[in-house]
Amino acid sequence: MAWEFKNGIPIYLQIMEGIKTRIAGGLLPPGSKLPSVRDLAAQAGVNPNTMQRAMTQLEQEGLLYTQRTSGRFVTEDEAKMKELRSSLSEKYVEELFTQLSRLGMSREEIISEVSRWRPQEDENVNKSSE
């Protein structure tokens, strides 16, 4: 997992967002086992306590679960997965509208542009979430 962190946003929140995106996008499929907290922390270049905080929060949100001797896994709860995708899509649409509104575009203009948009032939939409 490649990690890039932005200034001004707590790292554990950015880790959570990255894992949520990977789950929603299928890079971490339901039921898949995650690497250990130490391994994930080393990959991300963060303190293991920071990674543990993110993992604990994701468990509290029901996106991950722990099996005592086997490790941590992605939920297989379809309702949770649907809720996650809906939540992320709402966030991304809001960000898109905010950015385009700052350019002076009206709601109608934004909707028109979005409905006309087509991905480039060689573009893989999932690459943007990696």
Whether the CB-CB separation of 15 and 51 falls below 8 Å is answered with yes
The yes-or-no verdict on residue 70 having pLDDT over 50 is yes
Give CA–CA dist 55/3, Å, rounded: 15
Q: Quick one: average pLDDT of 77-104? A: 93
| Residues in a beta bridge with 74 | 64
Give CA–CA dist 101/83, Å, rounded: 27
The yes-or-no verdict on residue 96 having pLDDT over 60 is yes
Q: Quick one: average pLDDT of 3-29? A: 93
The yes-or-no verdict on residue 129 having pLDDT over 50 is no
